[in-house]
Structure 1
Amino acid sequence: MNRLEYIWPEEQFREDDFIVFRVRSLSYPYSIAFIKISPNDYTAYNGDYSLKDGEIIAIHKLANSLMDNYFPYSS
């Protein structure tokens, strides 16, 4: 499994109870994923690249942590 180099979310917009983040990485020049979070759920979407298994797991871990911190982001 390949691991991404440093990854980070960038908030893109808010819509109703959802916050959408673009995910960037030092390993790729463009967006690698988009994450849409709400207080109880998240959805991860493919970005500009096909990711490997370890990279997908890293995206889902990031999405989970964003969802856990939803209320500080939503204020």
Structure 2
Amino acid sequence: MSPDAAVAVFDTVASSLVSSIRILLACGVAVAVVGYVAGGSRSATSMRNGISQLIRRESEPEVRAEVSTRREVPGPRR
């Protein structure tokens, strides 16, 4: 086997291994982040609460203080 052929085979094998390692590393990081966010630590819980409040605040309609279209309807007597 010539040295050029050996280099070509090595490069082919090494490039596929490097690609596989990168994919496994990305999957490992993704699993670690999901595990942290889903965990019960104080920082993960406060992060989830903050994100929930932000989503809730963004989804609420904007209320104007000057004009109120809300009417009070009396409930049933007890």
Q: Which has the higher strand share?
A: 1
Higher relative contact order by CA 8 Å / sep ≥ 6: 1 or 2? 1
TM-score normalised by structure 2 residue count? 0.30
Give the structure with higher Rg (CA).
2
TM-score normalised by structure 1 residue count? 0.31
Q: Which has the higher helix share?
A: 2
